[in-house]
Amino acid sequence: MKYKIPRGTFDILPPASARWQYVISVFRKTAESFGYQEITTPIFEQSELFERSSGESSDVVQKEMYRFSDRKGRSLALRPEGTAPVVRSYVENNLGMLSSRQKLYYVGPMFRYDRPQAGRFRQFYQYGIEFIGSDNPYYDAEVIALEMTFLAALGLQNLRLEINSVGCKACSGAYEEALKAYYRPHLPQLCTDCQNRFELKPRRLLDCKVTSCRQFRAGAPSQLDYLDATCREHFDSVQRYLKLMNVAYEINPAIVRGLDYYTNTAFEVLYDSLGAQNTLAGGGRYNYLIEQIGGKSTPAIGFAGGFERLLLALEQESVELPDELKPDAYLICAGEKAVNLAMPLLISLRTQGLYVDFNADKASFKAQMKAADACGARYAIIIGDDEVDSGKVTVKDLQSGEQVSSEPAELIKVMRP
Ligand code: HAM
Ligand 1 within 6 A of 129 CB?
no
Q: Write the CATH number for 30.
A: 3.30.930.10
Q: How confident is the model at residue 285 (pLDDT cuts 50, 70, 90)?
A: very high
pLDDT confidence of residue 165: 96
For residues 313 and 309, what is the distance between their CA atoms, to the nearest angstrom? Answer: 6
Q: What is the pLDDT of residue 204?
A: 86
- What's the CA gap between 357 and 44, in Å, rounded? 39
Domain ranges, residue 342: 329-415
Looking at ligand 1, which atom is closest to the CA of residue 130? 33
Is residue 147 domain-shared with residue 258, that is, in the same domain? Answer: yes
Q: What is the pLDDT of residue 62?
A: 81
Q: Whose CA is nearest to atom 29 of ligand 1?
A: 303
* Peptide bond between residue 188 and the one before it cis (omega within 30 degrees of 0): no
pLDDT tens for 167-189 read 999 999 999 999 999 999 999 99
Residues 69 and 116 in one domain: yes
Residue 89 maps to a domain: yes
In the reported structure, the alpha carbon of residue 37 is separated from the centroid of ligand 1 by a whole-number distance in angstroms of 20
Is the pLDDT at 314 greater than 80, yes or no? yes
279 pocket-lining for ligand 1 (C-beta < 6 Å): yes
50 and 147 co-located in one domain: yes
Which residue owns the Cα nearest ligand 1 atom 10? 281
Q: Ligand 1 centre and the CA of 83: distance in Å?
A: 10
Residue 191 lies in a domain: no
Do both 70 and 139 map to the same domain? yes
Residue 385 lies in a domain: yes
Of the residues 287, 316, 345, which one is the last residue of a structural domain?
A: 316
The reply to whether 184 falls in a domain is: no
215 in any annotated domain? no
Q: Which ligand 1 atom is at minimum distance from the Cα of 283?
A: 31
Q: Which of 81, 105, 268 is the pocket-test mutation for ligand 1 (most atoms within 8 Å of CB)? A: 81
In a domain, 202, yes or no: no
* Residue whose CA is at the smallest distance from ligand 1 atom 12: 306
Q: So what's the pLDDT on residue 200?
A: 86
Residue 302 is predicted with a pLDDT of 98
Ligand 1 pocket member 304 (CB < 6 A): yes
Any ligand 1 atom below 6 A from CB of 128: yes
Residue 143 shares a structural domain with residue 100: yes
- pLDDT at 336 (0 to 100): 85
The answer to whether 151 and 317 have CB atoms below 8 angstroms apart is no
- Domain assignment of residue 216, yes or no: no
Strands 300-306, 37-38: pairing is: unpaired
Cα 183 to Cα 228: distance, rounded to the nearest angstrom: 23
CA dist 387 to 38, 306, 346, 347, Å? 49, 53, 15, 18
262 & 386 share domain = no
Task: Say if residue 299 is in the same domain as residue 340.
Answer: no
290/410 same-domain check: no
Query: Per-residue pLDDT averaged across 276-281, rounded?
Result: 94
Confidence bin at 55 (pLDDT 50/70/90): confident
Residue 407 has pLDDT above 90, yes or no: yes
- Give the pLDDT score at 126: 98
Specify the higher pLDDT residue, 63 or 251. Answer: 251
Of ligand 1's listed atoms, the one at least distance from the Cα of 120 is 20
Write down the pLDDT at residue 110: 98
Where does a domain end: 283, 316, 349? Answer: 316
**Of 316, 344, 371, which residue constitutes the final position of a domain?**
316
Q: What pTM value is reported for the model?
A: 0.92
Specify whether 338 is located in the same domain as 256. Answer: no
Determine the distance separating the centroid of ligand 1 and the alpha carbon of 258, expressed in angstroms: 9
- In the prediction, which pLDDT does 322 show? 82
**Residue among 167, 163, 187, 164 at smallest CA distance from 175:** 167
CA distance 74 to 89: 19
| Judgement on whether residues 334 and 312 belong to the same structural domain of the protein | no
Residue 45 pLDDT exceeds 90: yes
Q: Is the pLDDT of residue 362 over 90?
A: no
Q: How far is CA 160 from CA 126, 165, 255, 271, 285, in A?
A: 19, 17, 13, 7, 19
- CA 388 – ligand 1 centroid, Å: 59
Give the type of residue at 324.
E
Report the amino acid identity of residue 93: N
Residue 417 has pLDDT above 80, yes or no: no
Q: Clarify whether residues 46 and 131 are in a common domain.
A: yes
Q: How many domains does the chain have?
A: 2
Radius of gyration for the chain, computed over Cα atoms and rounded to the nearest angstrom:
28
Model confidence pLDDT, tens digit, residues 70-118 = 999 999 999 999 999 999 999 999 999 999 999 999 999 999 999 999 9
pLDDT band at 304 (very low <50, low <70, confident <90, very high): very high
- Asked whether the predicted pLDDT for residue 57 surpasses 80, the reply is no
pLDDT at 291: 96
- Index of the ligand 1 atom closest to the CA of residue 286: 32
The whole-number pLDDT of residue 40 equals 98
The CATH number that applies at residue 376 is 3.40.50.800
Mean pLDDT of the chain: 94
Q: Are residues 372 and 271 in the same domain?
A: no
Q: Is the CB of 258 under 6 A from ligand 1?
A: yes
Q: Is residue 293 part of a domain?
A: yes
**Residue nearest ligand 1's atom 31 by CA:** 283
Question: Do 259 and 204 form a contact (C-beta atoms < 8 A)?
Answer: no
Cα angle, residue 258 at apex, residues 256 and 259 outer, rounded to 5° = 115
Among protein residues, the one with the nearest Cα to ligand 1's atom 3 is 258
Looking at ligand 1, which residue's alpha carbon is closest to its atom 16? 120
Residue 369 CB neighbours (<10 A): 17
CA–CA separation, 4 and 50 (whole Å): 30
What are the tens digits of pLDDT across the range 105-160? 999 999 999 999 999 999 999 999 999 999 999 999 999 999 999 999 999 999 99
